[in-house]
Amino acid sequence: MPLDASWAESWIRLSAQSVAEHREELTALDTAIGDGDHGSNLDRGMCAAVAALDDADELPTPGAVLKLTATTLISTVGGAAGPLIGTAFLRAAREADAPVLDAPGTARMVAAASEGVHARGHAETGDKTMADAWAAAARAAQAAVTRVGQSEDAPAVVLEAAALAAAEGARATEPMKARRGRASYLGERSCGYRDPGAVSTALILEAAAQTARQACEVRG
């Protein structure tokens, strides 16, 4: 089934719940190679996004939900993460500005988010940043579109592929030496830790996939 604004709201709410549940893990990762505030900052931002959704009038499209989320994150999440994740959602919102998203539209949304992170942070795959997770997700989402065709659960399958790839992309950052951000100052000492932004990206995309699957099951 196509994904609508109700799905997008569910995605943001579940993302906030997941970030809260993994706040200490994200903080520990960022303490090892960064400023130590990724978990608390992102948790605060996602809580603010949920509050903004609670206060908003009915939003007509997934893009409207994602744009509100983006502007809230940019204004409330400190450090580099706020602009990066906010830009990811803002670019995704532009590709999701329709009443519903089909499988190709879902893949374009993920690709746009990835491109936004790259444009804002100037990071490439292999730099040990959240771009590693987003880029992997975008590639997997596009590959999934060619497999699923017009099946009723195609958008969910696309997001499930993206989420799995993002999780693998996050794991792949562990042995890397950071070439961007605060972690890059550590040189070889940044090896052995997953990038916290890549891990939070995987959590956010896992929430997208879970809520998309639930939406398909309810409507099916």
pLDDT digits (tens, 9 = 90+) for 20-50: 999 999 999 999 988 889 999 999 999 999 9
Asked if 89 contacts 74 with a C-beta cutoff of 8 angstroms, the reply is no
pLDDT of residue 28: 95
Task: Give start and end residues of each alpha helix (H) in the chain.
Answer: 5-21, 23-33, 38-55, 62-76, 81-95, 103-121, 130-148, 154-172, 196-219
pLDDT of residue 81: 83
CATH of domain 5-219: 1.25.40.340
Q: What is the 3-state secondary structure (H, E, C) of 166-205?
A: HHHHHHHCCCCCCCCCHHHHHHHHHCCCCCHHHHHHHHHH
pLDDT of residue 1: 64
Domain boundaries along the sequence of the chain: 5-219
Residue from 87, 105, 99 nearest 62 by CA: 99
Sign of CA dihedral 100, 106, 111, 116: positive
List the chain residues with pLDDT less than 50: none
